């Protein structure tokens, strides 16, 4: 790689790529990746001739594009398929944390099945996964699509396969039924299935579907509503509480105190999506204050930057956060000197 300055104040950098297959993978089908990089790098020209990539632009922009291209080439060398989505994620990571290398994030393998490998896709997700490795109780809090539950499930399967635990326990509150399932028609399995289906779906991505019924029959994997955790002590288990924003403080305390020896807990939820009735307080909203300073408990906060669904999902989450902030600011403007909201 070489740099040279031009009389117009621009700089030109060149990168030589010896592996033509890597260069073609970087360019993408019909050069779609190259065009995408240029669209996201206004004022920068990226030109490819032979085995040489030439990047021209003003100092900061050109260097940012150069680093992006080098990181994408490193991803390709590690077997990653580069597309516009990966390019966007890589650029976002470089901007948010210049000291971090996206290649270390996007090649961090958790579990693999039939050629599919589950990995974190954002810096926030990598920090979340690392927290699960380091702490006994981890709270994964963030909006939909940030991989809170999916990555926790992957870590549970990894722990089971490594024989670090002897069973996986997956639970979530059946809040729509008020945890009172008796009045619903059908067998117990039919009653709770709609609430637990997302957990089953994730399991099918990580394990041979044919093995799951046997694992559940033997008790190696248990999927049950939160109400069924009461009165138990869970040893040698990886325990996941999903949709924790729909627990009351009492339910959250009950769940956390099920922790037994050799076990690990991951609690996931989105405090903006509480479905509890009326003025019921969410256990997830208050638990951070309650457990503040307790050793070996970690709170991982994921954001719209960690959404791994369609780019539009991240934009929607950001738009709602801005709308909520505006509503909060408007509400403050209607408060009297006493600090209480005026009643009209």
Sign of CA dihedral 102, 104, 110, 115: positive
Cα–Cα distances in angstroms (integers) from residue 197 to residues 35, 113, 188, in the given order? 41, 21, 14
Res. 175: pLDDT tops 70:
no
Nearest-angstrom CA–CA distance, 244 and 268? 6
Return the H-helix or E-strand segment holding 314: helix 311-333
Fold held by 2-106: Ribosomal Protein S8; Chain: A, domain 1 (3.30.1370)
**Burial (0-12, 13-18, 19+ Cβ within 10 Å), 324:** exposed
Q: Do domains 2-106 and 120-329 have the same CATH topology?
A: no
Q: How far apart are CA 186 and CA 91, in angstroms?
A: 50
Per-residue pLDDT at 344: 32
Q: What is the pLDDT of residue 160?
A: 96
Instruction: Tell me the pLDDT tens digit for each residue of 132-149.
Output: 999 999 999 999 889 999
Q: Taking residues 262-268, what's their average pLDDT?
A: 98
Structure confidence by residue, pLDDT tens digits, 61-85: 889 999 999 999 999 998 888 999 8
pTM recorded for the entire structure: 0.77
Using CA atoms, how far apart are residues 139 and 267, in angstroms rounded to an integer? 5
184-219 per-position pLDDT tens digit = 455 555 555 676 777 888 888 899 989 999 999 999
Residue carrying structure tokens 């049950």: 224
Query: Domain 120-329, CATH 3.40.50.300 — does that match?
Result: yes
What are the structural domain ranges in the chain? 2-106, 120-329
How far apart CA 297 and CA 159 sit, in angstroms, is 19
Residue 270 CA, distance from chain mean position:
12
Using DSSP, state whether 208 is helix, strand or coil. Answer: coil
Task: Give the pair of three-digit tokens for residue 305.
Answer: 């930057």
Backbone Cα Rg of the chain:
24
């Amino acid at each position: 790689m070489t740099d040279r300055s031009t009389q117009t104040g621009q700089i030109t950098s060149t990168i030589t790529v010896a592996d033509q297959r890597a260069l073609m993978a970087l360019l993408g089908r019909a050069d779609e990746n190259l065009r995408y990089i240029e669209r996201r790098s206004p004022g920068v020209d990226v030109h490819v001739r032979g085995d040489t990539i030439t990047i021209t632009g003003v100092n900061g922009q050109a260097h940012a594009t150069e680093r992006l291209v080098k990181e994408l080439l490193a991803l390709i060398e590690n077997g990653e398929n580069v597309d516009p989505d990966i390019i966007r994620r890589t650029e976002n990571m470089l901007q948010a944390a210049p000291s971090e290398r996206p290649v270390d994030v996007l090649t961090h393998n958790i579990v693999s099945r039939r050629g599919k490998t589950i990995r974190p896709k954002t810096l926030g997700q990598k920090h979340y996964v690392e927290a699960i490795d380091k702490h006994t109780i981890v709270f994964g809090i963030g909006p939909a699509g940030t991989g809170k539950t999916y990555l926790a499930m992957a870590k549970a399967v990894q722990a089971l396969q490594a024989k670090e635990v002897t069973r996986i326990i997956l639970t979530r509150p059946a809040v729509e039924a008020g945890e009172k399932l008796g009045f619903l028609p059908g067998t117990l399995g039919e009653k709770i299935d709609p609430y637990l289906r997302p957990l089953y779906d994730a399991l099918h991505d990580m394990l041979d579907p044919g093995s799951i019924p046997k694992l559940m029959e033997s008790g190696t994997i248990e999927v049950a509503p939160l109400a069924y955790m009461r009165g138990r002590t869970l040893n040698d288990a990886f325990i996941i509480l999903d949709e924790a924003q729909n627990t009351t403080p009492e339910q959250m305390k009950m769940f956390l105190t099920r922790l037994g020896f050799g076990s690990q807990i991951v609690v996931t939820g989105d405090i903006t999506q509480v479905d509890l009735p009326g003025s019921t307080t969410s256990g997830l909203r208050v638990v951070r204050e309650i457990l503040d300073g307790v050793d070996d408990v970690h709170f991982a906060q994921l954001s719209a930057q960690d959404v791994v669904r369609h780019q539009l999902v991240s934009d929607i989450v950001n738009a709602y956060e801005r709308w909520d902030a505006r509503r909060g600011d408007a509400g403050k403007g209607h408060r009297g000197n006493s600090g209480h909201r005026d009643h009209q």
